[in-house]
Chain A
Amino acid sequence: MYALGLAARWLHLASSVLLVGAAAMIVMAGRSDRATAQRWERRVLASAWIWALAALASGVVIVGTQTALFEGRAAAAFEPRAIGQMLLETQAGRVWLVRAGILTILAVFLSLHVSVERRADWRAARGEVAMLAVAALLPLAASGHAAAVEPDTARAIASDGLHVLAAGIWVGGLVPLARLLRAAATEEGADARPYAVLAARRFSRTALAMIVLLAATGAGLAIFHVGSVAGLVGTSYGRLLLGKLALLALALAIAALNRSVLLARLGGDGPTVGRPAMRRLSGFVLVEAALALAILVIVAAMNVTPPARHEPPVWPFTFRLSFAALEGRAEEATRALIGSQIGIVGLVALIAGLAMRAWRLPLAAVALASLGAGAGLALPPLAIDAYPTTYLRPSVPYQAGAIVAGAALYQANCAGCHGPRGAGDGPEGRGLPRAPADLRAPHTAQHTAGDLFWWISHGIPGSGMPGFASRLGEEQCWELINYLRALSAGYAARNMGPTVERDRRWLVAPDFTFAVGPTPPRALKDFRGRTVLVVLYALPGSRARMSQLAGREGTLAMLGVEVIAVPIDADPDAIRRLGPDPRVLFPVVTQGAETIVAAYRLFAVAPHVELLVDRQGYVRAITRGSGDAADLDALVARVQQLNAEKIAAEAAPEEHVH
């Protein structure tokens, strides 16, 4: 069934593309009075009719397999009710209905064989075929992966549409071109030879433009759907794309040969140069077309494969390259710098070689040598050990609840060697081949969450660190990693004070959910875009400060500050205990407080703690105190400083992989 679906998709893509190419090729070649040219045109139109029917038939099969997929049962492919629902109530179905309508009109029009005696009639008839073929192809973009890209939906669909259109004109035009060249290369086809030469030149120019368009839109779509090197080499979608690029490189090499060598000879003298070149070009063009149709097999597979962005990548190498490897290693940094300079020399030589024909060979040798030497010098210092899970994204978000669960797992499984506070000083760690790591150290820049996942699951050979895959489930591993992340961040946060440092965002505020009385639960993340003051307080010590905050709530609200008060003792009766005067208008957490307190205590321990979280979700200032009334204007000044900052368009903190 999978094979059937894939075959139908390929046939559908190939026939839709061939249809556009045939129509475009006729328009490009233009009208001719020569018998051979007219015969060729009739044959191309006849095959276009067959491709229109093939596109319709394969489309019907795709609708059936899609219906089965959507319903989750194979039998649904044959149920009229299910098919009707798929056609009318899903975007893929509606797009297909539109395309099927256009294809039907096109097939009927092609079967009419309208008269094209007059030049104007010819233009109208062939133009209509081309327009209908393009109109049937373009909406494909609105039912594929591009339709689901957020938030740039329109741009993704437009790129995808241009991509298939360019592919149609290039790939689809190759087959009719090969036919024309072969017909014109024969003895009896001599009358159409000038026409064929002209057509080949026009096609070549257009195809070159289409390939540039393909590359540009393809690069954009790769960013939308793949987005990272790990996605490219570590997911099925990415690997399909690599295979597609490899075949494309081969097809382009043949295209370049055709264009630079054979096309120039076409105009040569009839029997000796022009005709053999024409015959050979016809053969090479067919090879190019065959490669392009093979690429469409991969495209069909990509259509039914989830885009790399949505898949967990499996990193295939034992190393990765990162500038973080140079941190604190001056000698290696110098080496990398020198290597990169040599590499740049190589690039300059390469460009110069392309520009200066006479010096091409020596310059190419220089380019190759310096690029190789540069890479050999610069890349090894950048290498960091990597594992299959290195680029895995945590399946458990960075939330207070996960941190607290991870802390319990840590005490049960890790504290023995790594110490109760992560300093690497546990009693069982003494005498191990390698001293247990100090988990508070700021080494996170060199290690991804996925690295930690690998070490926790599989251990570190030769160090004494065992693997815990048999004892901890995947989710528990991620909880533990969330705790380690908070532990290391908290250790660094001990130096963060009440002053806001301009544009220094590094301490991510773990998300938490809370509820006030019977209201529906809310999350810290919901306040993104506003400044939040998280207040961990304890009565009676914090009474004075809480009254102060409650009394000036209006001022804070005007500045866009949300206060979330968390009682350290997690008293469910906290609101009543704060009393009615002054009235507390900001949320006082009555459910979930113990979790928030346990997680945020990793960042600051004091009888009364205030954490200022900026609009992007980073902790920017921490005030540790006893709960006495303090200068509220200082808080106002800090908030104004945060409000004056421009919000950089960087990833939301929970997506950071460290």
Chain B
Amino acid sequence: MAGLAALALWPGAALAHAVLVKSVPAQRATLAEPPPRVELWFNERLEPAYSRASVTNEAGAQVDLRDGAVSVEDPRRLSLSLPALVPGRYTVSFRVLSVDGHVVESKLTFTVKERR
């Protein structure tokens, strides 16, 4: 509903193209060790009050430590911490507001491999 309302408000704004320039883990990375945190870098400064990210597992349950926030020293970086993840595919979803008033929503995935 909220998404629909936002769409109805400013069509286009919510569809703005991804401006994520880099992430750790990288989009679609396959990792042998579970990552301790997720870091996202954007090409524009973010508004900390309205920039959020979360990590969900295949079942759709949120697994991050709910501390996702824009970095104080670099307003283009959004990071969040993770507990020790079990092997599987994870989705990082983010919704960020850049300083020109555009909302960008997108996601990326990474996979934690079974230990050999």
Q: Which residues of B contact A443 (CB under 8 A)?
A: none
Q: Mark B89-107, 1 if CB is under 8 A from A, else 0.
A: 0000001011111110000
B59 interface residue per 8 A CB criterion? no
B61 interface residue per 8 A CB criterion? no
Decide if A65 touches B9 in the complex (CB within 8 Å).
yes
B17 interface residue per 8 A CB criterion? yes
Decide if A306 touches B101 in the complex (CB within 8 Å).
no
Residue total for A at the interface (Cβ-Cβ under 8 A): 50
- Closest-CB distance, A105 to chain B (whole angstroms): 25
Given contacts A70-B97, A145-B100, A236-B12, contact A89 B49 (CB under 8 A): yes
Decide if A69 touches B29 in the complex (CB within 8 Å).
no
By beta carbon, the residue of chain B nearest A62 is B101
Contact of A72 among B2, B16, B19, B29 (CB under 8 A): B2
- Closest-CB distance, B99 to chain A (whole angstroms): 5
Q: Which residues of B contact A523 (CB under 8 A)?
A: 22, 24, 26
Contact of A147 among B2, B5, B99 (CB under 8 A): B99
Interface residues of A in 71-112 (CB under 8 A from B): 71-75, 85-86, 89-92
Given contacts A150-B43, A306-B12, contact A69 B6 (CB under 8 A): yes
Q: Which residues of B contact A592 (CB under 8 A)?
A: 30
Decide if A518 touches B33 in the complex (CB within 8 Å).
yes
Contact of A515 among B11, B31, B43 (CB under 8 A): B31
In the complex, A143→B45 CA distance in Å? 12
Decide if A312 touches B17 in the complex (CB within 8 Å).
yes
Decide if B50 touches A520 in the complex (CB within 8 Å).
no
A310 interface residue per 8 A CB criterion? yes
Decide if B28 touches A401 in the complex (CB within 8 Å).
yes
Q: Mark B3-38, 1 if CB is under 8 A from A, else 0.
A: 101101111110111110010111111111101100
Contact of A89 among B9, B48, B100 (CB under 8 A): B48
Decide if A70 touches B35 in the complex (CB within 8 Å).
no
Decide if A89 touches B47 in the complex (CB within 8 Å).
yes
- Closest-CB distance, A236 to chain B (whole angstroms): 6
By beta carbon, the residue of chain B nearest A591 is B32
- Closest-CB distance, B49 to chain A (whole angstroms): 4
Decide if B31 touches A591 in the complex (CB within 8 Å).
yes
Q: Which residues of A contact B25 (CB under 8 A)?
A: 513, 521
A304 interface residue per 8 A CB criterion? yes
A525 interface residue per 8 A CB criterion? yes
By beta carbon, the residue of chain A nearest B15 is A306
Decide if A397 touches B27 in the complex (CB within 8 Å).
yes
Q: Which residues of A contact B28 (CB under 8 A)?
A: 396, 401-402
Given contacts A69-B10, A69-B13, A72-B103, contact A148 B98 (CB under 8 A): yes
In the complex, A143→B3 CA distance in Å? 24
- Closest-CB distance, B29 to chain A (whole angstroms): 6
A305 interface residue per 8 A CB criterion? yes
In the complex, A221→B6 CA distance in Å? 27
Q: Which residues of A contact B2 (CB under 8 A)?
A: 71-73
Contact of B99 among A2, A72, A85, A148 (CB under 8 A): A148
In the complex, A191→B3 CA distance in Å? 62
Given contacts A2-B11, A68-B9, A304-B10, contact A513 B29 (CB under 8 A): yes
By beta carbon, the residue of chain A nearest B76 is A150
Q: Which residues of A contact B27 (CB under 8 A)?
A: 396-397
Decide if B47 touches A520 in the complex (CB within 8 Å).
no
- Closest-CB distance, B97 to chain A (whole angstroms): 6
In the complex, A256→B49 CA distance in Å? 49
Q: Which residues of B contact A397 (CB under 8 A)?
A: 27
Decide if A1 touches B8 in the complex (CB within 8 Å).
yes
- Closest-CB distance, B38 to chain A (whole angstroms): 11
Interface residues of A in 497-535 (CB under 8 A from B): 513, 515, 518, 520-521, 523, 525
Q: Which residues of A contact B43 (CB under 8 A)?
A: 150
A58 interface residue per 8 A CB criterion? no
By beta carbon, the residue of chain A nearest B105 is A72
A339 interface residue per 8 A CB criterion? no
Decide if A74 touches B47 in the complex (CB within 8 Å).
no
Q: Mark A121-165, 1 if CB is under 8 A from B, else 0.
A: 000000000000000000000011111101000000000000000
Decide if A72 touches B31 in the complex (CB within 8 Å).
no
A276 interface residue per 8 A CB criterion? no
Q: Which residues of A contact B103 (CB under 8 A)?
A: 69-70, 72
In the complex, A70→B17 CA distance in Å? 17
Decide if A72 touches B101 in the complex (CB within 8 Å).
no
Decide if A72 touches B12 in the complex (CB within 8 Å).
no
A399 interface residue per 8 A CB criterion? yes
- Closest-CB distance, A334 to chain B (whole angstroms): 41
Interface residues of A in 298-315 (CB under 8 A from B): 304-306, 310-312
In the complex, A523→B29 CA distance in Å? 11
By beta carbon, the residue of chain B nearest A6 is B10
Q: Which residues of B contact A69 (CB under 8 A)?
A: 6, 9-10, 13, 101, 103
Contact of B10 among A2, A144, A146, A310 (CB under 8 A): A2
Decide if A146 touches B101 in the complex (CB within 8 Å).
no
In the complex, A227→B45 CA distance in Å? 20
Given contacts A150-B44, A520-B24, contact A310 B19 (CB under 8 A): yes
In the complex, A310→B22 CA distance in Å? 16
A450 interface residue per 8 A CB criterion? no
Most chain A beta-carbon neighbours within 10 Å: one of B3, B6, B9: B9
- Closest-CB distance, A522 to chain B (whole angstroms): 8
Q: Can you name 20 extra interface pairs (CB under 8 A) apart from A310-B102, A402-B28, A520-B24?
A: A68-B9, A69-B10, A69-B13, A70-B97, A72-B2, A72-B3, A72-B95, A74-B8, A90-B50, A90-B99, A148-B44, A304-B13, A306-B13, A311-B17, A401-B28, A515-B31, A515-B32, A515-B33, A520-B35, A592-B30
| 5 interchain residue pairs of minimum CB distance | A148-B100, A89-B49, A306-B16, A74-B5, A148-B44
6 residue pairs of the A-B complex, CB under 8 angstroms, read A89-B48, A90-B50, A310-B102, A401-B26, A520-B36, A523-B22
